[in-house]
A and B are shown apart, each in its own frame.
Chain A
Amino acid sequence: ETGVTQTPRHLVMGMTNKKSLKCEQHLGHNAMYWYKQSAKKPLELMFVYSLEERVENNSVPSRFSPECPNSSHLFLHLHTLQPEDSALYLCASSQGYYSGNEQFFGPGTRLTVL
């Protein structure tokens, strides 16, 4: 138990569906992250929020839309996804967005796009 929870743990959706992934951290951290983990590829950083403001957006397609309503919650809204978007989506948090921070990861949401 890392103090970061993610729901749902598994999600199957069609390409025309709209769904949202939720992440919650109970650590009092100020920075939160979304990563995509695909087989045989490095973990890809998608978005970073620091103090509820987006500080990184690494060329992610617009069909992925993040939302950070407060420092404890992070959402990833999904719409009109493609089969290649199937992956494990990991949320992480850290004390702050600065050098040497330890990131605490949630268990991930296993997403399958049909």
Chain B
Amino acid sequence: TQLLEQSPQFLSIQEGENLTVYCNSSSVFSSLQWYRQEPGEGPVLLVTVVTGGEVKKLKRLTFQFGDARKDSSLHITAAQPGDTGLYLCAGEDSGNQFYFGTGTSLTVIP
């Protein structure tokens, strides 16, 4: 079993603030995905990173894959209430199986 730890578990911030959430593991992954899950819905894929050190930007969201492909971070600039949700990371092992983290629940207060 591949363990993916996400931190913080809960985060509540004011609109306009910046934040970073983390996804850490002792295992190496061939790729890593970030999802956002809104209440009452299933997770929706935000990004896939595959190369160590890779940085991808999606509007105000910046995703980074660690050099050793064991960890990842998600940085949100100027958070908005629409960013509220559960952020999940999922690492893919060499056998094409994905392992999900426990998630970071983000609340952005207007």
* A17→B40 CA distance, assembly (Å): 25
Residues in A whose Cβ lies below 8 Å from that of B99: 42
Query: Which B residues between 13 and 36 are near A, CB-CB below 8 angstroms?
Result: 30-31, 33
B65 at the interface (CB under 8 A from A): no
Measured CB to CB, the nearest residue on chain B to A101 is B96
B44 at the interface (CB under 8 A from A): yes
Query: Which A residues between 86 and 114 are near B, CB-CB below 8 angstroms?
Result: 90-92, 97-100, 102-108
Residues in A whose Cβ lies below 8 Å from that of B101: 42
The size of the chain B interface, using a CB distance under 8 A, is 23
The contact of B92 among A4, A42, A92, A100, by CB within 8 Å, is A100
A82 at the interface (CB under 8 A from B): no
Interchain CB contact under 8 A, B97 and A107: no
How many cross-chain pairs have Cβ atoms below 8 Å apart between A and B? 48
Interchain CB contact under 8 A, A56 and B102: no
The contact of B44 among A2, A41, A91, A98, by CB within 8 Å, is A2
The contact of B96 among A42, A99, A106, by CB within 8 Å, is A99
Residues in A whose Cβ lies below 8 Å from that of B90: 43
Query: Which B residues between 71 and 98 are near A, CB-CB below 8 angstroms?
Result: 88, 90, 92, 96-98
Query: What residues make up the interface of A, taking CB atoms closer than 8 Å to B?
Result: 2, 4, 40-43, 45, 56, 90-92, 97-100, 102-108
CB<8 Å pairs between A and B, sample of 19: A2-B44, A40-B102, A42-B4, A42-B101, A42-B102, A43-B43, A43-B90, A45-B97, A45-B98, A90-B43, A97-B96, A98-B96, A100-B92, A102-B48, A103-B45, A103-B98, A104-B45, A106-B42, A108-B41
Query: What residues make up the interface of B, taking CB atoms closer than 8 Å to A?
Result: 4, 30-31, 33, 40-45, 48, 50, 88, 90, 92, 96-103
